[in-house]
Amino acid sequence: MSTDPWPSEWLRGVLDVCVLAVLAEGATYGYAISARLDEVGLGAVKGGTLYPLLVRLEQADLVTTQWRPGVGGPGRKYFALTPAGRAELARRGSAWRAFAGLTVGIIDPAAPPVAATPAAPPASDRLPTPRRTAR
């Protein structure tokens, strides 16, 4: 039995925008991103899920990276939003709120209506697939 709080397909559908939202709070490193997602109730996101997503965000120029020296340990790779990342967060956040409003409306018709018009149609539901490099 899984101890994850949400079905994995739900998390896959929203994880990229949630990571962008965490990075909107300030530059941070992978483990801290995972801890923040867990703190807000999304569960512990494993490195095998998080780091490939961060690579895709970087390849899409939505985040930048910087190695910083560690305090009493190894250095850490910090991730920060680019202006394009902030714009993508605003666009995807608006689209997600509209989508969530529609799903609440169908699941619970007695719920108060939620505006369901996204600010702009989604340009893409997926980030670029990371390029494989020869070793």
What pLDDT digit, counting tens, does each position of 29-46 carry?
999 999 999 999 999 899
* 51-65, 70-84, 117-131: least confident range: 117-131
The answer to the question of residue 121 being in a domain is no
With respect to residue 130, please indicate whether it lies within any of the assigned structural domains.
no
25 in any annotated domain: yes
- The whole-number average pLDDT for the span 56-61 is 98
Please give the residue range of the domain that contains residue 37: 8-107
- The whole-number average pLDDT for the span 67-94 is 94
In a domain, 3, yes or no: no
The count of structural domains within the chain is: 1
Q: Where are the beta strands (DSSP E) in the chain?
A: 28-29, 63-68, 76-81
What does the pLDDT read at residue 127?
A: 58
pLDDT above 90 covers a percentage of the chain that reads 61
The mean per-residue pLDDT over the stretch 49-78 comes to 94
Is residue 32 in a domain? yes
CATH number at residue 31: 1.10.10.10
Which two tokens mark 134? 């020869």
The first and second tokens of residue 84, run together, are 């394009």
pLDDT at residue 89 above 70?
yes
Higher pLDDT, 114 or 43: 43
What letter does residue 2 receive in the DSSP assignment? -
